[in-house]
Amino acid sequence: MVRSSRLASLAVLAVLAAAPPWAWAQESAAPAPAQSTPAVDPVQKEAIEQVVRDYIRAHPEIVVEALDAYQAKKDEEERSAQAKTLTSRADELFRSASSPVIGNAQGDVTLVEFFDYQCGYCKRAQPDLERLVKQDGGLKVVLKEFPILGPASVTAARASLAAQMQGKYLDFHTKMMGLKGQLTDEVIYDTAKQVGLDLDKLKQDMNDPAVVAELRANMDLAQALGVQGTPAFVINDQIIPGAVGFDALKSQIDKDRAG
């Protein structure tokens, strides 16, 4: 682009202006003796800076262009890092034996959800997941407890994983996702009793090393993937942030299955 060329020319002029006079000379047959570079004259430096400032004032769009280019580079770096993580940690993401699974455990398409029981958007997405599982007999859904919204979220996640040890994960999970209002320890344990969980065993299992390890693994995996909020879905090599709705998820599932 023209603006880029003009800016490049300006940069070259600035470098030449900052260089000592002897550096402008043409190359001679014999190399110049080694010597330290003299400091740039303060007056000369100020003149160069003023030229740059004046140019930016006259062409402020170059700042926007630079920021856009920087953001594009960062986005590309993030996508590249995510792609590497999706490949190198695929077993942990899609086939972890410790992560709860709903739907068809042997399905031909796997959808992973990172969620938090205090996340309103996760609760909004829950009916979409239930509908997908009901309509698609070949769908495997891996649930990654990702409690990032406070202490109650951590308690709920630990209780949910402990419920799995009593064979009632899905009952507890579904009930928790349907709750309205603020989540507290009292609400969590009351919900556990409602779905028939042994509360004493539940509280004991919540401190099981396997529960702690699962939550730590999920946090580490989410960080590696750049997942910073909930819900976040992963289908094959696609990370889909937010409650995007039934149609968007189904479309990605269909694409993955087709191709």
**Helical residues (DSSP H) of 89-208, grouped into ranges:** 90-94, 120-135, 151-164, 169-177, 185-194, 199-205
Question: Would you state the pLDDT for residue 62?
Answer: 84
pLDDT-derived band of residue 5, with 50, 70 and 90 as boundaries? very low
Q: DSSP labels for 185-198?
A: HHHHHHHHHHTT--
Single pTM value for the model: 0.72
Q: Where in the chain is the domain with CATH 3.40.30.10?
A: 93-258
pLDDT in tens, 135-149: 999 999 999 999 999
CB 222 within 8 A of CB 85: no
pLDDT-derived band of residue 77, with 50, 70 and 90 as boundaries? low
**At 40, which amino acid appears?**
V
Q: How far is CA 108 from CA 111, 139, 217, 242, in A?
A: 10, 7, 24, 24
Task: Tell me the β-bridge partners of 115.
Answer: 145
Question: Would you state the pLDDT for residue 149?
Answer: 97
| Average pLDDT rounded to a whole number, residues 228-254 | 96
CB atoms within 10 A of CB 143: 22
Residues 6+ apart with CB under 8 A from 22: 32
How many whole angstroms separate alpha carbon 89 and alpha carbon 218?
A: 12
pLDDT in tens, 201-229: 999 999 999 999 999 999 999 999 999 99
Torsion of CA 47, 50, 55, 56, to 10 degrees: 150
Is 31's pLDDT higher than 60? no
- Looking at CATH, the fold of the domain delimited by 93-258 is given as Glutaredoxin (3.40.30)
pLDDT-derived band of residue 199, with 50, 70 and 90 as boundaries? very high
Question: Would you state the pLDDT for residue 46?
Answer: 85
Helix (H, G, I), strand (E, B) or coil at 103: strand
Mean pLDDT check: name the lowest of 23-27, 48-52, 155-159, 248-252. Answer: 23-27
CB 139 within 8 A of CB 132: yes
How many whole angstroms separate alpha carbon 44 and alpha carbon 231?
A: 56
Q: Classify burial at 230, counting beta carbons within 10 Å of its beta carbon; exposed 0-12, middle 13-18, buried 19 or more.
A: buried
Question: Would you state the pLDDT for residue 259?
Answer: 82
pLDDT-derived band of residue 184, with 50, 70 and 90 as boundaries? very high
| Tokens 């409602």, residue located | 194
